[in-house]
C-alpha cells in the first residue's frame, strides 16, 4: 500500500471515530455545577506562562519547578492549539476555546482590542462578572496578552515590562504590597527568544529555561511568604515549544507539546494529567478552582488526575465541531511528521 493511501485511510478512520463519539455523547446544554470539594476550594489561581518552553522542563536543570511540583500534578505532552504560536495559544489558555473560535493570532492581538461584549470572554471576564469587586491582574513581557486578549472594560490590573527579571521584581513587589488577586497571569519571554535564536537543542535554550525557573521560584516564594498558597492553585504552563533548530507554528512534538504543572491543596500528589489534556483546559481549571461555572461556549475541561476528588471530564466536541474534526487530523499529522 502506498504511504499516501495509508495516510488517507487513517485520517478517514479517525474522522469516523470522532463522528461516532459525537453521536453517542449527549450535548451539555446547561451550565454545570460540580459536586466536588475542589470546586471553589481556592481563592487564588496563579498562571505562570513561560513563553516557548514547551514540554522541556524535565530535560533541563529546574530546581524550583522540581520542588514546587514534587507534590503536584503534571503533564509535559499537553497539546497546543494549531498553529503552535503565541497568540492562538495564550488566547486559548485564557478563553477556553479553540483558535478556530477566538481567531486571535500574533498580529491581531497587537492591533485589535476586545471588550466584555465578546462571545469568548477570558477567565478574567468570566470571573469579573461573578465577582465584581475582586482583584484580577496580568503581568506580562509580551504586551499582546494585555492589549489584544484581556477585555478592556473589566478592571484588570495590567503591567508590562520587556525585561523578565524586572518583571519578576515587580510581581514580587505587587504581592509584598498585600495584593490578593483571584486570578494572576504571568508571561515570561526569555525562553522564546532563546528558542528563536538557538533552537530547542541548544545550551542557550536550556539555560533560558533554568533562568525562567529562577523567576518561577521567586514568584512562588513571594506567594508563600504572603500566605497566598494556603488557598492558592499554582500553575506553570507554556504556549508552545521550539523546533530543534528554532521556530514553531507547526506540528512536530517539539513545537506542539507543552506543559501543565499544578500545585495546590487538593491537587493529586504525583499525578499525571490525562493524555487528552489541552492547554486551553487551564481556563476550565481556573474557573473550577474559584467556584465559577464555565460558559456554555467553552470547550475546555477538567483533566483526570488533577484534583483528588474530581473525575476528568469528557471533551465535548458539540461545542466546537471544527475543533472536533481538525484536532484528530492534526494528531495524525503529528504522528506522521518526522520527529527528531
Give the residues lining the site for Zn ion (CB under 5 A): 51-52, 86, 192, 239
Asked if residue 128 lies in contact with residue 136, where contact means CB atoms within 8 angstroms, the answer is yes
Residue closer to Zn ion, measured from CB, 151 or 239: 239
- Bridge partners (DSSP) listed for residue 46: 184, 234
Helix then strand count (H, E) for the chain reads 12, 8
Residue closer to Zn ion, measured from CB, 52 or 246: 52
Residue closer to Zn ion, measured from CB, 44 or 242: 242
Supply the minimum distance, in Å, between the C-beta of residue 24 and Zn ion. Answer: 37
Cα 321 to the center of its chain, rounded Å: 21
Supply the minimum distance, in Å, between the C-beta of residue 292 and Zn ion. Answer: 27
DSSP letter (8 states) at residue 165? H
Supply the minimum distance, in Å, between the C-beta of residue 89 and Zn ion. Answer: 7
Give the span between the Cα atoms of 317 and 325, in whole angstroms. Answer: 9
Supply the minimum distance, in Å, between the C-beta of residue 126 and Zn ion. Answer: 24
The reply to whether omega before 32 is within 30° of 0 (cis) is no
Supply the minimum distance, in Å, between the C-beta of residue 238 and Zn ion. Answer: 8
Cα 113 to the center of its chain, rounded Å: 21
Residue closer to Zn ion, measured from CB, 18 or 238: 238
Supply the minimum distance, in Å, between the C-beta of residue 51 and Zn ion. Answer: 4
Residue closer to Zn ion, measured from CB, 151 or 192: 192
Cell 482583584: give the residue: 135
Closest-CB residue for Zn ion?
Answer: 86
The helix or strand, by DSSP H or E, that contains position 10, with its residue range, turns out to be: helix 3-24
Residue closer to Zn ion, measured from CB, 73 or 140: 140
Across 264-337, the runs of DSSP E, i.e. the strands, are 271-272
Supply the minimum distance, in Å, between the C-beta of residue 91 and Zn ion. Answer: 11
- Bridge partners (DSSP) listed for residue 50: 188
Alpha helices in 226-271 (DSSP H): 253-256
> 304 by DSSP, 3-state: which?
coil
The helix or strand, by DSSP H or E, that contains position 64, with its residue range, turns out to be: helix 63-68
Residue closer to Zn ion, measured from CB, 192 or 320: 192
Amino acid at each position: 500500500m502506498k504511504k499516501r493511501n495509508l495516510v488517507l485511510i487513517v485520517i478517514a478512520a479517525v474522522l469516523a471515530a470522532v463522528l461516532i463519539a459525537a453521536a453517542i455523547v449527549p450535548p451539555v446544554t446547561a451550565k454545570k455545577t460540580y459536586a466536588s470539594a475542589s470546586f471553589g476550594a481556592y481563592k487564588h489561581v496563579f498562571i505562570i506562562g513561560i513563553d516557548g518552553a514547551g514540554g522541556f522542563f524535565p530535560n533541563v536543570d529546574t530546581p524550583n519547578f522540581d520542588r514546587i511540583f514534587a507534590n503536584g500534578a503534571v503533564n509535559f505532552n499537553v497539546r497546543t492549539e494549531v498553529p503552535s504560536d503565541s497568540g492562538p495559544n495564550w488566547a486559548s489558555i485564557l478563553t477556553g476555546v479553540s483558535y478556530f473560535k477566538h481567531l486571535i493570532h500574533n498580529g491581531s492581538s497587537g492591533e485589535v482590542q476586545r471588550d466584555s461584549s465578546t462571545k469568548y470572554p477570558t477567565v478574567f471576564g468570566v470571573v469579573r462578572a461573578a465577582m465584581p469587586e475582586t482583584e484580577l491582574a496580568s503581568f506580562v513581557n509580551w504586551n499582546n496578552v494585555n492589549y489584544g486578549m484581556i477585555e478592556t472594560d473589566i478592571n484588570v490590573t495590567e503591567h508590562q515590562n520587556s525585561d523578565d527579571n524586572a518583571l519578576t521584581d515587580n510581581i514580587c513587589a505587587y504581592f509584598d504590597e498585600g495584593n490578593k488577586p483571584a486570578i494572576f497571569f504571568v508571561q515570561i519571554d526569555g525562553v522564546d527568544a532563546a528558542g528563536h535564536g538557538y533552537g530547542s537543542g541548544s545550551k542557550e535554550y536550556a539555560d533560558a529555561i533554568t533562568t525562567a525557573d529562577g523567576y518561577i521560584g521567586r514568584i512562588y516564594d513571594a506567594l508563600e511568604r504572603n500566605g497566598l498558597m494556603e488557598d492558592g492553585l499554582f500553575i506553570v504552563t507554556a504556549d508552545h515549544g521550539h523546533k530543534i533548530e528554532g521556530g514553531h507554528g507547526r506540528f512536530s512534538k517539539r513545537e506542539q507539546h507543552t506543559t501543565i504543572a499544578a500545585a495546590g491543596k487538593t491537587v493529586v500528589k504525583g499525578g499525571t494529567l490525562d493524555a487528552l489534556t489541552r492547554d486551553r483546559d487551564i481556563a476550565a481549571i481556573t474557573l473550577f478552582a474559584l467556584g465559577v461555572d464555565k460558559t456554555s461556549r467553552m470547550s475546555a475541561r477538567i483533566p483526570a488526575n488533577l484534583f483528588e476528588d474530581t473525575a476528568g471530564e469528557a471533551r465535548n466536541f458539540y461545542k466546537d465541531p471544527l475543533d472536533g474534526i481538525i484536532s484528530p487530523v492534526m494528531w495524525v499529522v503529528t504522528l506522521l511528521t518526522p520527529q527528531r
